[in-house]
Every structure is written in C-alpha cells, then in structure tokens.
Amino acid sequence: MTKQLTRAPCFAIVIQFAVWLCSAQSDNPSFDCSKASNSVEKLACADEHLAKLDRKLSDLYKSIEKNPDQAAEHRASQQKWLRSRNACSKSSEVKTCVQSSYEHRIAEIQIQSGSLQAPPVVHYNCPTADQSKPLTASFYNETDPPSAVLTYGSDQIIAMLQRSGSGARYGTADVEYWEHQGEAIVTWRGKKFTCKVK
C-alpha cells in the first residue's frame, strides 16, 4: 500500500512532464530552432503563429513528397519557395511578408495536390484584353485566407484574398483581380483590363 502511495505522485509528474514537452514542441516550427540559419527562420521560432504555419506547411509538403513521380518537381518548387520566403528579410514589413509567403505556399500545395474540392470555373468576357487569351477563375474558399486560381491564356497564378473596402479583391506579386458590382478589373503583369462573367 505504501509503495502505491509513493509511486502515484511520481507517475503524475511524469505525465505532466510529457504533456509539457508535447506542448512545448507544438509551439515550435518544423525545424530545429537551435540551427536557425537566417533572420526569417529565427522569426518563425519566436512567433507562435508563424511556427504554426510552418508546421502546417511541413505536414502538407511531406504528404505530397511521397509521390515518387513528382518528387523532384516538388523539391524544386519547395526550394524556390524557401528562397522567396527568405527574401522577406529585405521587406519593410518582414512578418507580414513571411506570413503571406506561408499562406500562399500552403494554399498552392492544397490546390495542386487535389486535397480540396475543385470549385466551378468562371469564364470572363474581357473586351479590352487580348482576345486570344481567355480569362478564367476558380475561387477556393476553403484555403486560409480564401484564394483564387486565375488563368489568362497560358499564364496561371494563385492569388490570395486581400482587404478591400468593397467588392472582392485577390492579388499576388504582379496580378490583381478586383470584382465590384458584377464587373472585374484585372491588372495582369502591368496590363489593366475590365471583364464581365460570360
């Protein structure tokens, strides 16, 4: 009886330590913070939300990396993304840039892997654009934040929902889509045109 009483507190301490250890690990990004090699990685180690995004991206990437037919392609795109994320160290708003980079990459993997149900494709009539390049859009509300796959001719990008005073605005580095009162104003790599749903 005495042995049981003395072991119980020890067992409780072991359980508490295990819970604490799991909790501590869940607050960290997917990589070893003691080996963080640049300012962006150090920021992800210090910021709980960025660490959470890093873990989510890591889990998604591992799920697509298992496909041997596209492993090399996935590694190349991941390395390209890492360079883009790390370039956020030169941004005037580093944290915002890093967060957007993670969100965009997560949405990209979710969409390209087919883990999300594909929404209907919306076709547009754009009289002021190059008529040999049709514009289409697919809106993914399941990503966080919502995103849109925009295709203009053979050029396709994934744009994220942006803050807007009115209408719906999606954007990425050099493409912007703003729908307001049934009309879409699109700026595509420097060219601006107006479209309506067919």
Both 44 and 110 in one domain: the answer is yes
- Which residue range(s) make up the domain with 50? 37-115
Examine residue 46 and state whether it is found in any structural domain, yes or no. Answer: yes
Residue after which a domain boundary falls, among 64, 96, 115: 115
Both 127 and 98 in one domain: the answer is no
**What does pTM read for this prediction?**
0.82
Both 111 and 162 in one domain: the answer is no
Examine residue 1 and state whether it is found in any structural domain, yes or no. Answer: no
Both 86 and 155 in one domain: the answer is no
Q: What is residue 26's predicted lDDT score, i.e. its pLDDT?
A: 59
Residues 6+ apart with CB under 8 A from 19: none
Both 111 and 126 in one domain: the answer is no
Residues 6+ apart with CB under 8 A from 70: 64
Both 150 and 176 in one domain: the answer is yes
Q: pLDDT tens per residue, the chain (198 residues)? A: 444 444 444 444 544 544 444 444 557 899 999 999 999 999 999 999 999 999 999 999 998 888 777 888 999 999 999 999 999 999 999 999 999 999 999 999 999 998 999 999 999 999 999 999 999 999 999 999 999 999 999 999 999 999 988 899 999 989 999 999 889 999 999 999 999 999
Both 190 and 139 in one domain: the answer is yes
Residues 184 and 136: their CA atoms lie apart, in Å, by: 11
* Residue (of 147, 48, 33, 41) closest to 94 by Cα position: 41
Both 103 and 129 in one domain: the answer is no
Both 178 and 144 in one domain: the answer is yes
Residue after which a domain boundary falls, among 71, 98, 115: 115
Contact by Cβ (8 Å): 83, 40: no
Examine residue 57 and state whether it is found in any structural domain, yes or no. Answer: yes
Examine residue 29 and state whether it is found in any structural domain, yes or no. Answer: no
Q: What is residue 65's predicted lDDT score, i.e. its pLDDT?
A: 83
Number of structural domains, the chain?
2
Residues 6+ apart with CB under 8 A from 77: none
Q: Any idea what the CATH number is for the domain that residue 160 is in? A: 2.40.128.200
Examine residue 99 and state whether it is found in any structural domain, yes or no. Answer: yes
Both 130 and 70 in one domain: the answer is no
Q: What is residue 11's predicted lDDT score, i.e. its pLDDT?
A: 46
Both 54 and 104 in one domain: the answer is yes
Residue after which a domain boundary falls, among 115, 132, 153: 115
Examine residue 31 and state whether it is found in any structural domain, yes or no. Answer: no
Examine residue 148 and state whether it is found in any structural domain, yes or no. Answer: yes
Both 76 and 95 in one domain: the answer is yes
Q: Measuring CA to CA, how many Å separate 42 from each of 50, 58, 81, 82? A: 10, 17, 17, 14
Q: What is residue 67's predicted lDDT score, i.e. its pLDDT?
A: 78
Examine residue 94 and state whether it is found in any structural domain, yes or no. Answer: yes
Q: What is residue 2's predicted lDDT score, i.e. its pLDDT?
A: 46
Q: What is residue 10's predicted lDDT score, i.e. its pLDDT?
A: 47
Contact by Cβ (8 Å): 157, 147: no
